[in-house]
A and B are shown apart, each in its own frame.
Chain A
Amino acid sequence: MRVPGKGLNADAAPLRFRFDGQAYEGRAGDTLASALLANDVRLVGRSFKYHRPRGILTAGSEEPNALVTLGEGATQDPNIRATTQELYDGLAARSQNAWPTLRHDALAINDLFAPFLGAGFYYKTFMWPKSFWEKLYEPVIRRAAGLGALSGEANSDSYEKAFAHCDVLVIGAGPAGIMAALTAARSGLDVILAEEDSRMGGRLLAEVEEVDGQPGAVWTAARVDELRAMENVRLMPRTTVTGAYDQGTYAALERVGHHVAERTGPRECFWRIVAQRAILCAGALERPVAFPDNDRPGIMTAGAVRAYLNRWGVAPGQTLSIFANNDDAHRTALDFIEAGLEVAAVIDSRADAQPLGDYRVIAGGTVTGTTGRHGLQGIRVAHPGGEEHLRTDCLALSGGWNPTLHLTCHMNGRPRWDDDILSFVPSEAAVPGLTVAGAANGTFSTLACLEEGIAAAQAVARALGTRPARAEAPAAEDAPYRIAPLWHVPGKGRAWLDFQNDVTVKDVAQAAQENFRSVEHMKRYTTQGMAPDQGKNSNVAALAVLADATGRGIPETGTTTFRPPYVPVAIAAMGAGGQGQGFAPHRLMTSDAASRARGAPMVEVGLWHRPSYFPRSGEETWLESCNREVRMVRSTVGVCDVSTLGKIDIQGPDAGAFLDFVYCNTFSTLPEGRVRYGLMLREDGHVMDDGTTARLGPDHYLMTTTTTAAGQVMRHLTWVAQALRPDLDVRFASVTDQWAQFAVAGPKARELLNSVLDDPVSDAHWPFMSCGAVTVAGVPGRLFRISFSGEHAYELAVPARFGASLFGQLGAQAEAMGGGLYGLEALNVLRIEKGFLTHAEMHGRSTAFDLGFDRMVSRKKDCIGAAASRREGLRDPEREQLVGLKPVDPAGKITAGAHLFADSAEPVSPNGQGHVTSAYPSPTFGHDLGLGFLKGGRNRHGERVMMVDHLRDLRTLCEVCAPVFYDPEGERIRG
């Protein structure tokens, strides 16, 4: 219920919202949690495993219980913490893990079987038969347990990634963070202040206390205004720093659009912030106490109760009781009384506890049980004088505060146990460049937090070589933090430690009993500390219980590793921009639009998009189009955009020597105006890539690579030039994108070419493997007489700006001559018919010897891979060697990827003789053709082998032959 006059948003505008279909009213500035409590909604969810009724436990991102789903369909967003979800008009949230309704949940029956479902139950029970786990047990268990669900549809929402840079990143905008940011900014440093909450101020917004004589929230607002006005400060509210990484890089999640009804921009932004220094001022998290049935709606941390009352003007109950082991929690009673509300008692486990005001203290008392299934109704209290029942509908718990030191553990830093505050504190220099100040450092009074913030910023300024600004902490609360150990209260009934994973004291004790005594083993056996909240509420208490069960101290027991992210991060945010077409950049040829306009289906080759064929009317399958295009090239002329092949311009006095070193064959002797096929080896003697290289001038070459290996070859050349042969004076650069290059192939190739060239070419001046400059309509271009089809062919290159235009004209002219455009499918058929290779054959395991190119590895010079290629094992005549394959029955199918066996052998791996690398139906021969590797294949031409494709259930008897099927003498290519 609302408390009149209380709360920082007391006068804010009313907002309507729905929870599980029911309409309610809240206020601007509310979270969903505060608005629900204002409407006396206490039951908000069902627990993970036992479907226990649960309410709101905290007021921050550590919330384990109050997880809800927002949105419908593709934008459904599960596991939203009601405690951080800001209210907006029209918000509609649903509870999770309950059916048919939150109040009457059928699977609450699990709770009755709790004695059987403890830690290790699944491991012990669902072991036999083994195959049942995946098919039956796991799906059933997963359906019964769990929290919110994804929609199953592709996420239609927009997310964003971004980078930011600063001198100092201040993480958290409580008293320490604000003073750190102010001091750093006044020292002239570039500051980013990231705060998880929508409003800056931290606990100063949740407590009744003064800073510099002003209410904490007022003082905070003035400091934030000052920061906002400074040019060297960037305020990042709603931004949770989720991880600390190498070299001062921090990940952060900004909730950009979760707090508005009509959103236009991204939902979330995933930041990578690079900071020279960082100051962690993330505060502390209050831990609950474990006692029987401590999980009822209405039981929450004491700090959260104060936050709801003081920040949002909401009393989470009519009659408050408090169970604590420290002085700090007593403030809750004072705040309630000051607000005119009723306090039943403060049950303080310390025998010497004294009231700090006019309320009843039960010193040396403990809470030993609770009542009220859907909401707390009363508690049972044991104290030195006996036992009593108290009527209360809100129990505020405090077992002390745990510094929020998670980020300091992200690079393997181990926190240190501090006996004064009974918690872990960050160890020094756990993350390079990161210092910790305030409550995150185990410093709990407001004044000390302000002072530490200043000191940390001044130290950073000095470290960065700047004169630190002078600053003095304003007057503030400076009470000592008095605490005595209290981890759990023994008794009948389950005492919950980890609310998110339904882990009890008994589960942890049982883990220890079954010898999972290491804290890491206990975590995995019980699941304590896993899931979205990562043990934020339960870790220290669970360790204390484990320490107790194993007879060790807490420091010896140690803690599990906090890993990034600090709060759950949607994969959609981390992968922002990568959905669908954003997966990778698209490289488009200058002919792209024209190819698509003709209805050509595009295929991706590396990042490039290439047309697979150009369908004509009446053609119903790709094969019909492909066959026509092949016949067209063999009989008249075809045009194909080959701009995707890598082109590297190589210049310098040592260019020839450089090429001799990277290619296995010789290029320094290549005459100007000529082209040569080259084979490049890796250092290990296997083939890396092939291509043609043209000599354009005395010290000037143009290398071509395959489409897919262009980047790899460029990297290789750079490595060779810089690291292996720095003695050579050579320079090179990629010119792949500079030139649009078109293959013109077929008996009428020259005729077509001469229709666009300014000066016609003739066979006498342009023999096979020649190259040189030409002009097309006055535009300087380059012509190469090379062929990847086995036909009389050329490749014509013009600067890319003219590519689209030239492609259109070549295509139109070819069609007028009875030819036309051809795509990747036809290109592949043509090259297989001719026995030319691609990376299907140069698959990384083949050598020049295997491919039949052994003689290309020059013995007159050294080159990369030459020595290794001569190793005995790489010259074994029984190695798998390149062969051609044709079906004995012309109707037989050959498929790429199929394996080869002796005709009589059983088709199993040990009998494997090789495999098919490329195969296509050949319209030229009227049957399928294949290229493949076969053991000792060069000496087996004429033999028959059985091709077996287990995937397609295909067996074809094949004849082994030479890999060149078409025009083996090369008469057409020279003709």
Chain B
Amino acid sequence: MARLIETSPCAGLLPRTIGAVDLSEVEPAQITLIAPFKGQQAAVSDALDAALGLTFPAPNRATGQGARAVWSGAGQALLIGSACPALPGAACIDQSDAWAIVRIEGADAARVLARLTPLDLRPEVFQQDHTARSVLGQMPVSLTRVGRHAYEVMVMRSMARTLVQELTRAAQGVADRIEPSI
């Protein structure tokens, strides 16, 4: 009889500390993509609010604490860290294993990300709970600000190793600068 063992996307790669940033893997128990059907977004948002105390996020925003809903594209959001309640007005697609999530935290976090993504991460522009679909290196990503010096980067699970390599190289470059980094 089979017995299946779990392996996380970044197993063996993280955590790491490089200079002034910590890279660690985030492993939510569940991720569900929620895409409300036509005219159902308000009802879906209400249902989410009733069940989990969070609303369906506006574009480029994340809602909720603990369990979070992160906008992930036109008309869709990822419910992260909670089982998905019954939402008859939406397509709910299990993505618990589809993503590799890396948290990058520390004084140099924004500087490291600036080596990889064209996003404007200035604190007054990309605030807490702001999120964006963009690129990191050459990978499509979802990037969310989760703290003053903390971000979560999501890539396709299959790209986990490249993500860690890219972040590591960028962080090393920042850490190794002789002058105070800019």
Contact = CB atoms under 8 A, between A and B. Distances in A.
Task: Tell whether A pairs with B.
Answer: yes
Interface string B114-157: 11011111100100000000000111000000000000000011
A732 B73 CA distance: 12
Contacts of B118: 163, 272, 274
A257 B178 contact: yes
A731 B4 contact: no
B182 A234 contact: yes
A158 B95 contact: no
Given A590-B7, A801-B97, A802-B5, 8 more contacts: A163-B119, A265-B174, A585-B159, A653-B37, A733-B33, A733-B93, A801-B7, A802-B4
Contacts of A260: 178
Nearest to A801: B6
Interface residues on A, range: 35 or more
Interface string B156-169: 11111110011001
18 contacts: A163-B119, A165-B121, A165-B122, A257-B178, A265-B177, A585-B138, A586-B161, A587-B156, A590-B7, A608-B158, A649-B93, A731-B35, A732-B91, A733-B93, A736-B98, A737-B157, A804-B5, A805-B4
B162 A586 contact: yes
B38 A806 contact: no
A651 B93 contact: yes
B161 A652 contact: no
B49 interface: no
A14 to B, nearest CB: 21
Contacts of B160: 588
Give the dominant DSSP class at A's interface: mixed
A951 B99 CA distance: 45
Nearest to A581: B165
Contacts of A257: 178
B76 interface: yes
B73 to A, nearest CB: 9
Contact of B158 (A158, A265, A589): A589
B86 to A, nearest CB: 14
B65 to A, nearest CB: 25
A235 B182 contact: yes
Interface residues on B, range: 35 or more
B182 A236 contact: yes
B94 A738 contact: yes
A607 B140 CA distance: 13
B9 to A, nearest CB: 8
Nearest to A584: B138
A607 B165 CA distance: 16
A735 B97 CA distance: 9
Given A266-B173, A585-B138, A737 B6 contact: no
Contacts, number: 153
B91 A737 contact: no
Interface in A583-605: 584-590
Interface in A360-374: none
A875 B115 CA distance: 53
Q: Which of A731, A777, A803 has the most CB of B within 10 A?
A: A731
Contacts of A737: 97-99, 156-158
Q: Which of B5, B121, B178, B182 has the most CB of A within 10 A?
A: B182
A65 B7 CA distance: 60
Contacts of B3: 777, 805
A265 B173 contact: yes
Given A165-B120, A577-B137, A588 B158 contact: yes
A86 interface: no
B44 to A, nearest CB: 11
A190 interface: yes
Interface of B: 1-9, 33, 35-38, 74-76, 90-91, 93-99, 114-115, 117-122, 125, 137-139, 156-162, 165-166, 169-170, 173-179, 182
Contacts of A799: 94, 96-97
A68 to B, nearest CB: 22
Contact of A803 (B7, B76, B91, B179): B7
B115 A162 contact: yes
A263 interface: yes
Given A265-B173, A737-B97, A729 B158 contact: no
Contacts of B4: 776-777, 779, 798, 802, 805-806, 809
B182 to A, nearest CB: 6
Nearest to A272: B118
Contacts of B98: 734-738, 800
B173 A160 contact: yes
A165 B2 CA distance: 53
Contacts of A574: none
Interface string A175-214: 0000000000000001000000000000000000000000
A164 B91 contact: no
Give the top 6 A-B pairs by smallest Cβ distance, nearest first. A265-B176, A651-B91, A731-B91, A587-B158, A731-B35, A800-B97
B37 A731 contact: yes
Contact of A585 (B9, B35, B74, B137): B137
Give the dominant DSSP class at B's interface: loop
Contacts of B175: 265
A569 interface: no
A577 B166 contact: yes
A589 B159 CA distance: 9
A574 to B, nearest CB: 14
B93 A161 contact: no
A272 B115 CA distance: 10
Contacts of B121: 165
A264 interface: yes
Nearest to B162: A585
Nearest to B166: A577
Contacts of B5: 802, 804-805
B117 A163 contact: yes
Contacts of A733: 33, 35, 76, 91, 93, 95
B153 to A, nearest CB: 13
Nearest to B178: A260
A487 interface: no
B24 to A, nearest CB: 18
Contacts of B95: 733, 735, 738
A735 B176 contact: no
A732 B90 CA distance: 11
A806 B2 CA distance: 8
Q: Which of B4, B120, B156 has the most CB of A within 10 A?
A: B4
B70 to A, nearest CB: 14
Given A160-B115, A585-B137, A809-B2, A804 B7 contact: yes
A735 B159 contact: no
B129 to A, nearest CB: 19
A809 to B, nearest CB: 5
Contacts of B138: 584-585
A756 interface: yes
A732 B37 CA distance: 11
Nearest to B99: A737
A401 interface: no
B2 A777 contact: yes
A739 interface: yes
Q: Which of A653, A799, A801 has the most CB of B within 10 A?
A: A801
Interface string A553-590: 00000000000000000000000010001101111111
A586 B97 contact: no
B134 to A, nearest CB: 11
Contacts of B115: 160-163
A162 B169 CA distance: 12
Contact of B2 (A254, A586, A756): A756
Contacts of B162: 585-586
Contacts of A735: 93-95, 98
Contacts of A587: 156, 158-159
Nearest to A729: B38
A345 interface: no
Nearest to B115: A162
A602 B44 CA distance: 45
A266 to B, nearest CB: 5
Contacts of B139: 585
